[in-house]
């Protein structure tokens, strides 16, 4: 099940013309503009529909709501965070991590979903040390985040 927490983040951070250009690189500017004109007025409906169908990706929401045609291609299966990263956002600002334990290793009653940028340095290091993910994207983003924090500390 995909996180519902990603929906408001995506809608806030998306640059719709860029997203559509990523999805449909061979379409004309006029076609992209017509999609934009169709989608912007429907954002309220999109958000409502998406919360009711949170497992759908943004692209699937648009097709299933009839806002864009289902042009064959793998774009239909592109994850929302991938789109935001391709749009130019930093992975640390769009990737969520599930926190299940306190620092003292007490189980939380419910998973807390937090952006990587909001994780503590100790938490990131514990994830890496404990090999709690094998996902290459997350491993790279965690290592990059630690390096960024180290570089920022050195500059102070």
Q: What's the pLDDT tens digit per position in 55-99?
A: 999 999 999 999 998 877 767 888 999 999 999 999 999 999 999
Share of the chain above pLDDT 90, in %: 81
Distant-in-sequence, close-in-space partners of 134: CB < 8 Å, separation ≥ 6: none
| pLDDT (0 to 100) of residue 153 | 87
Give phi and psi for 113, each to the nearest 5. -95, 120
When pLDDT is averaged across residues 38-53 and rounded to a whole number, the result is 97
Share of the chain above pLDDT 70, in %: 99
CA separation for the pair 132, 71 (Å, rounded): 38
How many Cβ atoms from other residues are within 10 Å of residue 155's Cβ?
Answer: 6
One-letter-per-residue 3-state SS of 47-60: HHHHHHCCCCCHHH
CA separation for the pair 139, 131 (Å, rounded): 9
Q: Would you say 101 and 108 are in contact if contact means Cβ atoms under 8 Å apart?
A: yes
Structure tokens at 97: 């991590």
Using DSSP's 3-state secondary structure scheme, residue 111 falls into strand
């Amino acid at each position: 099940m995909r996180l519902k927490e990603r929906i408001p983040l995506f809608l806030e951070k998306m640059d719709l013309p860029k997203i559509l250009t990523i999805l449909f690189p061979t379409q004309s500017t006029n076609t992209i503009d017509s999609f934009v004109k169709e989608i912007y007025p429907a954002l309220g409906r999109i958000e409502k529909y998406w919360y009711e169908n949170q497992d759908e990706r943004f692209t699937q929401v648009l097709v299933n709501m009839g806002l864009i045609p289902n042009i064959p291609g793998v774009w239909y299966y592109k994850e929302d965070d991938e789109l935001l990263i391709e749009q130019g956002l930093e992975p640390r600002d769009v990737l969520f991590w599930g926190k299940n334990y306190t620092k003292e290793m007490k189980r939380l009653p419910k998973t807390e979903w937090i952006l990587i940028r909001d994780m503590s340095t100790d938490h990131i290091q514990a994830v890496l040390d404990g090999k709690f993910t094998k996902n290459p994207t997350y491993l790279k983003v965690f290592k990059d985040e630690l390096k960024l924090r180290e570089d920022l500390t050195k500059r102070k």
